[in-house]
Structure 1
Amino acid sequence: MIRLVNLTKTFHLEGVSKTVLKDCNVTFESGRSYGLLGRNGAGKSTLLRMIAGTQDPTSGRIEISGTVSWPVGFAGSFHPDLSGAQNARYVARIYGVDSDELVAFAEEFADLGSHFHLPVRTYSSGMISRLAFGLSMGIDFDTYLVDEVTAVGDEGFRQKSNRIFLSRMRRAGAIVVNHSPQVIQELCDVAMVLHDGELRQFEDVVEGLRYHQRIIFGT
C-alpha cells in the first residue's frame, strides 16, 4: 500500500512557481493497477519519482508498505560508463536477487543484441527504456512504477511488454503513466487523473479516460 499524506510539490524557477500536487491525500491499494493520466507537465513523472524516493516533496509525506520498483523508463537510474550487463549485476546486488538470473532475463527480454555488453552512454533513449523495463520485470516487487515504457519499440516488443506486465500484475500492483487510452484500459483497473495539483480517482477506467479527454480538449 502507498499513501500520500498532505503531499505537496511546488517547483520554483526564475521567479515563477508551479504546484503540481497540492495537499494530496490518496491511497494506492496493494494488488491494484492504477493508470495515471494528465496533461504533459502535470507532474505525473514527478509523482512517480517521489514515490520511488528519488525526489523529495515540498511538504507532506508518503507512507509505503511493501517493495516499490524504481520508475521504469527513468534513464537516471543507470551508470553511463557501465554496460547493460554490468548495470544489471549492480541492480541485482542492491535488491538482493541472483545476479546471473537477472542478467539472463534482462538480456533476453530487452533484446539489445551486442549493445547489452556496451556502455549505456551509447544507448538510445528507447534502448535504455527497454533495459530498465527488463530489469524491473526481472525482480519481484509489490508495486511497479511504469512511465510510458510500454510504448517503446515495435509492435512485437509492445505485445511482449504487455504480456509480462499482466503476468506480474496477477501478484502485484502498479502505477502506470501512459498516454494511450487502449494501454490504460488493457493494463489498469483504476484511473487517476492529475490536474491543477489535484489527483482524482475513478474506479471506472473509462469514466476517468473521458474526464482526462475533457481536460485535454476543453470539452
Structure 2
Amino acid sequence: MIELRNLTKRFIMRGQEKIAIDDVSAIFPSGVAVGLLGRNGAGKSTLLKMISGAMDPTSGEILTTGAISWPVGFAGSFHPDMTGIQNTRFVARIYGVDTDQLVDFVYDFSELGRQFNMPVRSYSSGMRSRLAFGISMGVPFDTYLVDEVTAVGDQAFRDKSNQVFQARLEHAGAIMVSHSIGMLRDNCQAGAVLERGQMEFYDDINDAIDVHLENMRKVRPD
C-alpha cells in the first residue's frame, strides 16, 4: 500500500512558483496496477520520484508498505563513471539479491553487449533506460513505478519488455505512466488522474481514461 497524506510539491521556476502537486491525499492499494494519467507537465513523473524517495515533497508525507522500485527508466542514481555491470552489482548489494543472477539477467535482457562493460556516461538515453528497466525487472519489488520505459527500443525489445513486466505484475502492483491508452488498459486495473495539482483515484482504469480524455478536450490550464 502507498498512502499520500496532504502531499504538496512546489518548484520555483524563473522566479515564479509552480505547484505540481497540491495537498493531495490518496491510497494506492497493494497488488493493484494503477495507470497514472495527466497532461504533459501535470506532475506524473514528479509524483513517481517522490514515491520512490528520489525527490522530497515540499510538505505532507508518503507512507508505504513493501518494497517500492525507483521510477523505471530513471537512471539518475547510476554512477556515470562506473560500468553497467558495476552499477548492477552495486544495486544487487543494496537490495540484498544474488549479484551474479542479477548481472546475468540484466546482461541478457538489456542487449547492451560490450557496452555493459563500459562507463554509463558513454550510454545514450535509450541504453540507460534499458539498463534501468533491466535492473528494475531483475529485483523483486512489491510495487513497480513505471514511467514510459517500455517505449524504448525496437518492436522486439518492446514486446520483450511487456512480457517481463506482465510476469512481474502477477505477483506485484504498479503505478504506471504511459501516453499509450491501450497499454494502460492492458496492464492496469485502476487509474488516477492528475489535473491542476489535484488527483482523483478511480477503481476502474476505464473511468480514469474517460476523465483524462475529457480533460484533454478542455482548454489547457495556465
TM (norm. structure 1) is: 0.97
Is 1:171 the counterpart of 2:184? The answer is: no
**1:132-147 counterparts in 2 under 5 A?**
132-147=132-147
Q: 2 CA distance for matches of 1:124 and 1:14?
A: 29
Deviations, residues 135-190 of structure 1 (Å, cap 9, x unaligned): 00001111111111011111111111111111111111111111100111111111
Q: 1 CA distance for matches of 2:42 and 2:214?
A: 15
Q: 2 CA distance for matches of 1:169 and 1:87?
A: 25
Counterpart amino acid of residue 134 in structure 2: G
Q: Which residue of 1 aligns with 2:209?
A: 209
Q: SS where residue 63 of structure 2 aligns?
A: strand
Is 1:3 the counterpart of 2:3? The answer is: yes
Q: Which residue of 1 aligns with 2:25?
A: 25
Deviations, residues 53-78 of structure 1 (Å, cap 9, x unaligned): 11111111000111101111112021
Deviations, residues 107-142 of structure 1 (Å, cap 9, x unaligned): 000111111111111111111111101100001111
Structure 1 residue runs without a partner (length 5+): none
Query: Residue 33 of structure 1 contacts residue 173 of structure 1 at CA under 8 Å; is this kept in 2?
Result: yes
Q: 1 CA distance for matches of 2:205 and 2:86?
A: 39
Percent pairwise identity: 56
Counterpart amino acid of residue 171 in structure 1: H
Structure 2 residue runs without a partner (length 5+): none
CA displacement at 1:15 relative to structure 2: 2.4
Counterpart amino acid of residue 210 in structure 2: R
Is 1:112 the counterpart of 2:105? The answer is: no
Query: Residue 7 of structure 2 contacts residue 25 of structure 2 at CA under 8 Å; is this kept in 1?
Result: yes
Task: Give the number of aligned pairs.
Answer: 219
Counterpart amino acid of residue 138 in structure 2: G
Q: 1 CA distance for matches of 2:2 and 2:10?
A: 21
Query: Residue 162 of structure 1 contacts residue 187 of structure 1 at CA under 8 Å; is this kept in 2?
Result: no
CA displacement at 1:14 relative to structure 2: 2.7
Q: SS where residue 130 of structure 1 aligns?
A: helix
Q: Which residue of 2 aligns with 1:81?
A: 81
TM (norm. structure 2) is: 0.96
CA displacement at 1:47 relative to structure 2: 0.5
Query: Residue 33 of structure 1 contacts residue 188 of structure 1 at CA under 8 Å; is this kept in 2?
Result: yes
Q: 2 CA distance for matches of 1:173 and 1:39?
A: 23
Q: 1 CA distance for matches of 2:119 and 2:215?
A: 41
Counterpart amino acid of residue 193 in structure 2: V
Counterpart amino acid of residue 206 in structure 1: N
- Root-mean-square deviation (Å): 1.1
Counterpart amino acid of residue 122 in structure 2: T
Moved over 3 A (4+): none
Shifted more, 201-210 versus 28-37: the winner is: 201-210
Q: Which residue of 2 aligns with 1:154?
A: 154
Shifted more, 37-46 versus 209-218: the winner is: 209-218
Q: Which residue of 1 aligns with 2:199?
A: 199
Deviations, residues 70-117 of structure 1 (Å, cap 9, x unaligned): 111112021111111111001001111111000000000011111111
CA displacement at 1:40 relative to structure 2: 1.0
CA displacement at 1:204 relative to structure 2: 2.2
Counterpart amino acid of residue 42 in structure 2: A
Query: Residue 7 of structure 1 contacts residue 21 of structure 1 at CA under 8 Å; is this kept in 2?
Result: yes
Q: SS where residue 115 of structure 1 aligns?
A: helix
Q: Which residue of 1 aligns with 2:188?
A: 188
Is 1:60 the counterpart of 2:36? The answer is: no
